[in-house]
């Protein structure tokens, strides 16, 4: 028997719907809202309106591409938070209406939990979750979190950002350099042609930083100092210097962000004696991070799980996949319709 799960994701600025059939992604439609580019960041009210404008056609496209009818859907899954409240509500209320009309259960999904398991999506490079507990690094525009993930889908959060998220650090420093939103992928592209040792930007809460005494056990992150440092650097140099050395500056910023992420993730795996690491969320698309993390894991004999690029940034395939995993592991709370913009991550 076929089990079809429709996933809906609308927590930020991607309107996405996907169908997962017996655990395999058979369609994954993602419409990225371009409207926010004019404003240099996501405007929540505009995001909600765009979701509303797009949701019907995106869901239709996902169902059509899966070559099924809406009546063939067995479960409707949607992001219930964390995210922008209006944006989450559009997707969750739509899912609620659809579930009610089709008389099918609704499975609410935590966006961060879905990111964590996106590293194991069927056509990601390696899709079998490890048998043992593992360390997960989630790095997106809104979150930077290190946690231990257990087989029973219980989690222990061991570190978070105390200010900006890693994606925010990319976006905000990129904006200072005159790059469009989201600047993360643009810094990534520039950095490929640049020298990461061109300038030493600060790496906070690490052995190199003087502000942290107990850096060995400190798995928290901080990126606000980097932001200030980049701002001061730009102020100290004239426009043509910045323009002429843009690739080197981008590479140096990327180096500062990714070095801390790799260092702390590896340190966490060693401290807790775990031999697998997963990295997920929009920033896991970063080519510098992927390479650095892979090299560090290889050196330590650690297995690395990382999603294919399409599953790194927000997508509904990860929502449907997470619902599937929750069902498999008996962890569903079907027909719970609460919208939770600040949904806490159980840790």
Alpha-carbon 61 to chain mean position: 23
Helix (H, G, I), strand (E, B), or coil: what is residue 280?
Answer: strand
Whole-angstrom Cα distance, residue 87 to residue 12? Answer: 6
Tell me: does residue 48 bind Zn ion (CB under 5 A): no
List the one residue from 230, 251, 283, 304 that touches ligand KG4 (CB under 6 A).
Answer: 283
Compose the 237-266 pattern: x for residues touching ligand KG4 by CB under 6 A, - for all others.
------------------------------
Maximum distance among all alpha carbons in the chain? 65
**CB distance 27 to 4 below 8 Å:** no
Minimum CB distance to Zn ion, residue 11 (Å): 6
Compose the 177-206 pattern: x for residues touching ligand KG4 by CB under 6 A, - for all others.
-----xxxx--x------------------
Q: E strand or H helix at 158, and its extent?
A: strand 155-160
Whole-angstrom Cα distance, residue 198 to residue 203? Answer: 15
Among 209, 170, 164, which Cα is nearest to 187's? 170
Nearer to Zn ion, 30 or 68 (CB): 30
Nearer to Zn ion, 73 or 169 (CB): 169
Tell me: does residue 281 bind ligand KG4 (CB under 6 A): yes
Tell me: does residue 79 bind Zn ion (CB under 5 A): no
Residue 285, contacted partner among Zn ion, ligand KG4, none, CB below 5-8 A by kind:
ligand KG4
Alpha-carbon 87 to chain mean position: 17
**CB distance 101 to 30 below 8 Å:** no
Residue 196, contacted partner among ligand KG4, Zn ion, none, CB below 5-8 A by kind:
none
Whole-angstrom Cα distance, residue 32 to residue 141? Answer: 14
Minimum CB distance to ligand KG4, residue 301 (Å): 27
Tell me: does residue 314 bind Zn ion (CB under 5 A): yes
Tell me: does residue 225 bind ligand KG4 (CB under 6 A): no
Tokens of residue 45, six digits:
């009210």
Whole-angstrom Cα distance, residue 18 to residue 48? Answer: 19
Site for ligand KG4 in 72-91 (CB under 6 A): none
DSSP sequence for 244-258 = HTHHHHHHHHHHHHH
List the one residue from 30, 285, 319, 325 that touches ligand KG4 (CB under 6 A).
Answer: 285
Strands 134-139 and 106-110 come out as unpaired
Tell me: does residue 27 bind Zn ion (CB under 5 A): no
Binding piece for ligand KG4, criterion CB under 6 A, among 93-101, 163-171, 320-328, 335-343: 163-171
Which residues lie near Zn ion (CB under 5 A)?
140, 314
List contacts with ligand KG4 (CB under 6 A): 12, 140-142, 167, 170-171, 182-185, 188, 281-283, 285-286, 313-314
């Amino acid at each position: 028997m076929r089990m079809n799960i429709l996933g809906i994701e609308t927590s930020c600025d991607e309107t996405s719907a996907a169908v997962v059939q017996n655990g395999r992604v058979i369609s994954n439609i993602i419409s990225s809202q371009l409207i926010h580019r004019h404003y240099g960041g996501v405007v929540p009210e505009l995001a909600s309106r765009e979701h509303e404008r797009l949701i019907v056609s995106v869901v239709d496209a996902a169902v059509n591409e899966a070559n099924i009818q809406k009546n063939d859907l067995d479960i409707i899954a949607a992001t219930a938070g964390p995210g922008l409240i209006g944006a989450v509500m559009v997707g969750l209320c739509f899912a609620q209406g659809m579930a009610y009309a089709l008389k099918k259960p609704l499975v609410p999904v935590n966006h961060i939990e879905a990111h964590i398991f996106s590293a194991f999506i069927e056509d990601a490079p390696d899709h079998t979750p490890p048998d043992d507990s593992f360390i997960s690094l989630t790095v997106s525009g809104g979150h930077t979190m290190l946690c231990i993930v257990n087989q029973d889908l219980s989690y222990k959060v061991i570190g978070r950002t105390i200010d900006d998220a890693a994606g925010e650090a990319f976006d905000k420093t990129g904006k200072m350099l005159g790059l469009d939103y989201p600047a993360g992928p643009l810094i990534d592209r520039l950095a490929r042609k640049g020298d990461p040792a061109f300038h030493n930007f600060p790496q906070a809460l690490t052995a190199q930083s003087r502000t942290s005494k107990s850096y060995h056990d400190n798995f928290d992150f901080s990126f606000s100092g980097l932001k200030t440092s980049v701002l001061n650097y730009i102020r100290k140099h004239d426009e043509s210097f910045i323009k002429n050395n843009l690739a080197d500056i981008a590479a140096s910023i990327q180096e500062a962000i990714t070095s801390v992420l790799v260092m702390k993730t590896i340190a966490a795996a060693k401290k807790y004696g775990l031999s697998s690491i997963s990295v997920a969320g929009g920033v896991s698309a970063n080519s510098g991070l992927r390479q650095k993390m892979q090299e560090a894991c290889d050196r330590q004999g650690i297995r690395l799980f990382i999603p294919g690029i399409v599953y790194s940034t927000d997508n509904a395939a990860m929502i449907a996949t997470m619902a599937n995993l929750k069902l498999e592991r008996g962890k569903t709370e079907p027909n719970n319709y609460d919208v939770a913009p600040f949904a806490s991550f159980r840790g």
